[in-house]
Amino acid sequence: MHQRNLGPFPVSAIGLGCMNLSHAYGVPPAPEAAEKVLLRALDLGVTHFDTAALYGFGANETLVGRVLSPYRSRFTLASKCGMTGVDGKRVIDGRPETIKRTCDEALARLRTDVIDLYYLHRWDKKVPIEDSMGAMAELVAAGKIRAVGLSEVSADTLRRAHAVHPVAAVQTEYSLWTRNAEIAVLDACRELGAAFVAFSPVARGYLADAFHTVEDVAAFDAKDIRRAMPRFQGDNLVANLKLLDDYRARAREAGCTPAQLALAWLLAQGGHVLPIPGTTRIDHLEENLAAADLKLDPTLLARAGELVSQRTVTGPRYNAPTQTEIDTEEF
């Protein structure tokens, strides 16, 4: 597996986002199936596993800890605080005392003495970013975490946080159909020497040949988070589905799958970009990781980038209430 730097850690160029083994896209797989995905990823050379306290309200950290803790020296472990489940509800809380408490809880669930990269999952806008970063810096000093990351922040917030303590990585949605990072954060990360971790790199299945029709999307599980996302609704969905025939044709021309084309495009956006696709299936895992070996014509990648972009995709990525919770720049 090719490697890139995740802050101070050399890791596999493509990591594994563990979220959907416990959370977000309907009924998660059985624990035995999830365990097989994690172990197969490790066997294939993945050395970057990404989880969070939010995912399954602790269930994902518990899963990752149970399955992977015997192999702890073989991979870089990333998790997140600042957005967790409280009494069955999602809560954003960036107060220093909460960050420190949830770190201790995460360490116990993950069965480890230290988390390599610990992100502030969301900036709690009621708390100055400097205060939240101060707590993260104290966790580094205490030896409970090795490096600090931020998720869904603007370039301005990144720089304010970096002035308190070095930021090793920023994690934000980035794919052909979500380009907000290109406004400022991608360049800010390069300037500050931070990695950029791209979550939802295959556009929540849109670029992975996971569905083809309005009816396919209508069949999503009732608890699937995509049901609340405007791009998967009404006229927006109809317009976005029309892009896929040409996109699949570009993948065939490249001699790869649609998901591999999406991942190869991301890897070509800069050496500091690290995609973390998630999956519940071993065949999809193997398909995704093979994208790191592709050598595609830059002209073909550029054409894919013109076909699916912020100019051609219809609808915002989040609904209005969720949009208020993030700090990323918007077109």
Residues carrying an active site annotation? 55
Element housing 145 (H / E): strand 145-151
Q: Are 176 and 308 in contact (CB under 8 A)?
A: yes
Place of tokens 């306290």: 53
Give the bridge partners for 89, in sequence order. 86
Nearest one of 230, 258, 235, 263 to 246, comparing CA atoms? 258
Q: Are 274 and 196 in contact (CB under 8 A)?
A: yes
Nearest one of 236, 185, 195 to 9, comparing CA atoms? 195
Q: In sequence order, which ranges of 255-314 are alpha helices (DSSP H)? A: 258-267, 282-290, 298-307
Nearest one of 49, 54, 52, 77 to 145, comparing CA atoms? 77
Element housing 322 (H / E): helix 320-323
> For the chain, give me the number of helices (H) and strands (E)?
13, 12
Question: Which amino acid, 323?
Answer: Q
**Two tokens at 23?**
């959370």
Q: Are 154 and 125 in contact (CB under 8 A)?
A: no
202/248 Cα distance (integer angstroms): 13
